[in-house]
């Protein structure tokens, strides 16, 4: 084979590799994005279950032990102190979690479904 023929074959291989690599890279990006979306959905679902849990247990503790508003204020303070880098457990947000639970506790649907219907109108972030 002549030197020119080898260069031509090498250039063709690079082009094939480049096209194959571009396709591979596009698929890799697609997989990363799909996985990130799935992770976000899972994280949101678990966070909503946590909000539901807080709402349920605040309501239950207030009924069982006769605790009033002060328990929510104390809980917010203690959670903020314990998880100082975690936001979202303000007094206002704990009340929202309680309200969220109360509004949807009798529905035969999951907390995630309830949240989709409720979040736009009531819940806001208070760090």
Q: What is the mean pLDDT of residues 97-124?
A: 70
| pLDDT tens-digit map of 52-68 | 999 999 999 999 999 99
Q: Looking at the domain assignment, is residue 126 inside a domain? A: no
Q: Looking at the domain assignment, is residue 123 inside a domain? A: no
Q: Looking at the domain assignment, is residue 33 inside a domain? A: yes
Q: Per-residue confidence at 91, pLDDT binned at 50, 70, 90?
A: very high
- Identify the domain containing residue 96 by its residue range: 3-118
Sign of CA dihedral 16, 18, 22, 24: positive
For the question of whether the overall pTM of this predicted structure is more than 0.75, the answer is: no
Query: What is the total count of domains within the chain?
Result: 1
DSSP secondary structure code for residue 67 in this structure: -
Q: Looking at the domain assignment, is residue 127 inside a domain? A: no
Residue 79 CA, distance from chain mean position: 20
Q: Looking at the domain assignment, is residue 107 inside a domain? A: yes
Q: Whole-angstrom Cα distance, residue 37 to residue 119?
A: 19
Q: Looking at the domain assignment, is residue 125 inside a domain? A: no
3-state secondary structure of 124: coil
């Amino acid at each position: 084979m002549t030197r020119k023929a080898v260069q031509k074959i090498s250039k063709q291989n690079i082009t094939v590799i480049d096209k194959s690599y571009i396709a591979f890279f596009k698929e890799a990006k697609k997989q990363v994005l799909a996985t990130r979306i799935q992770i976000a959905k899972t994280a949101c679902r678990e966070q909503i279950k946590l909000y539901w849990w807080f709402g349920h247990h605040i309501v239950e503790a207030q009924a069982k032990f006769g605790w009033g508003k002060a328990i929510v204020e104390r809980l917010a303070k203690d959670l903020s102190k314990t998880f100082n880098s975690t936001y979202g457990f303000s007094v206002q947000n704990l009340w929202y979690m309680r309200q969220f639970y109360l509004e949807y506790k009798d529905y035969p649907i999951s907390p995630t479904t309830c949240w989709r219907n409720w979040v736009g109108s009531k819940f806001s972030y208070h760090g």
